[in-house]
Structure 1
Amino acid sequence: MPPTERGKEWLASLLDLLGLETSIAATIESAEVDPDRGDSSCRLTVDHNNLSEAQVETFIGRGGVNIDAIQYLANVSLNASLAETEQSSYVIDINGYRQEREQRLQQIAIAAAEKVRSTSQPEQIDDLSAAERKVLHNLLKEYPDLKTESRGREPHRHLIVSLQTAAEVEEIE
């Protein structure tokens, strides 16, 4: 079964258990999760039109905690019995939440890059999910003079943005 169908079936079952009656659209998007690996991801978009505002807000959760948990469960459940070469990455979205969050992450990346460059001091970014940290790592790869690293242990893991040393810059070139 194609990943789009597997994902739709899994999410429809979860929504049914939650008592939410709505439809799901599934699309394949190239290199969204990890451009370096060339992975494609399956975006599962929940139709919010048949849901109340409260249901949508609950599905997303404060700071996206619920939708992130659902996305994590989808990825673990749908890939558990598959060989690594057959696995897919799943992105769960509702009401444009992921696009809005991605735009906010781009703003965070730009602000962190500007601050590190202007102060020459590392910048710590807190309150990110693992997926969001990965997005920021990828966004900040566009800045050859900067480096990123995740530090700490969940749930207090954070991202550090700092200047590359001269030796590190030479290695890249």
Structure 2
Amino acid sequence: MTHAQDNAAVEQAAGSRAEEEGDIAADYLEELLDIADIDGDIDIEVRGGRTHLSIVQEEGDESALRELIGRDGAGLEALQELTRLAVLTQTGNRSRLMLDILGYRQGRTAELERMAEQAIAKVKDSGDSVALQPMSAYERKQVHDVVADRGLHSESEGEGAKRHVVVMPAE
């Protein structure tokens, strides 16, 4: 097998594994929504070898899904972890699937970029480090990426639910 064929085989295996994860996760989420008597449709997409699931609602009252997101996305994060555990239980493989509800993550990404830009401006003006609010590992990664793109330095500090990003002047 050539190197290109080898890479193609690995990508195909990752793609089919991501599709399998998506199917298992969607079944789990559908059952959970049924038990909770919450209306929602589940969209599955594989991007870059990672499974992305979205719970959406075409029409009607979105309040139950908004409650599922929870304060600062805490419910969404918990549901994502439970879904990953359901996939692990059935496949024996850890999943990096991403779950979104009503486009929350997309809106949150824009909010995180604004927060990072504001922190960068403060650091450039004052020369002092700026600590941001606690956030999930995924959100911290997004902030670190924005900070690095602007030529500054950032680190995560704190433990558990208090873990946050500190933006620092370029070294």
Q: For this structure pair, what is the TM-score category when the shorter chain's length is used for normalisation?
A: 0.7 to 0.9
Deviation at 1:25, TM superposition (A): 0.7
Q: What corresponds to 1:82 in structure 2? A: 92
Q: Could you tell me the TM-score, scaled by structure 1's length?
A: 0.77
Displacement of 1:134: 1.9
Query: After superposition, where does 1:15-164 map in structure 2 within 5 Å?
Result: 15-30=33-48, 40-49=49-58, 52-79=61-88, 82-83=92-93, 87-144=94-151, 146-164=152-170
Which structure has the larger Rg? 2
Distance 1:10 1:141, change over 3 A: farther
1:51 positional shift: 5.4
- What whole-Å deviation, never above 9, does each CA across 1:40-98 have from its counterpart, x for those lacking one? 42111112235523212211112211111111222343246535xxx442221222211
Coordinate RMSD, CA, aligned: 2.0
Distance 1:9 1:50 in 2: 22
Structure 2 counterpart of 1:140, one-letter code: V
State, as a whole percentage, how many aligned pairs show the same letter. Answer: 26
- Give the distance between the partners of 1:25 and 1:54, measured in 2 at CA: 19
CA deviation vs aligned residue, 1:112-142 (integer Å, no higher than 9, x gap): 1121122111010013122211221222221
More helix per residue? 2
Residue aligned with 2:135, SS: coil
Unaligned runs of 5+ in 1: 31-39, 166-173
Question: Take 1:121 and 1:138, find their aligned partners in 2: how far apart are those partners?
Answer: 20
Instruction: Give structure 2 stretches of 5+ with no counterpart.
Output: 1-16
Aligned pair count? 152
Q: Which residue of 1 aligns with 2:4?
A: none
- 1:9 corresponds, among 27, 45, 69, to 27
Q: TM-score, normalised by structure 2?
A: 0.78
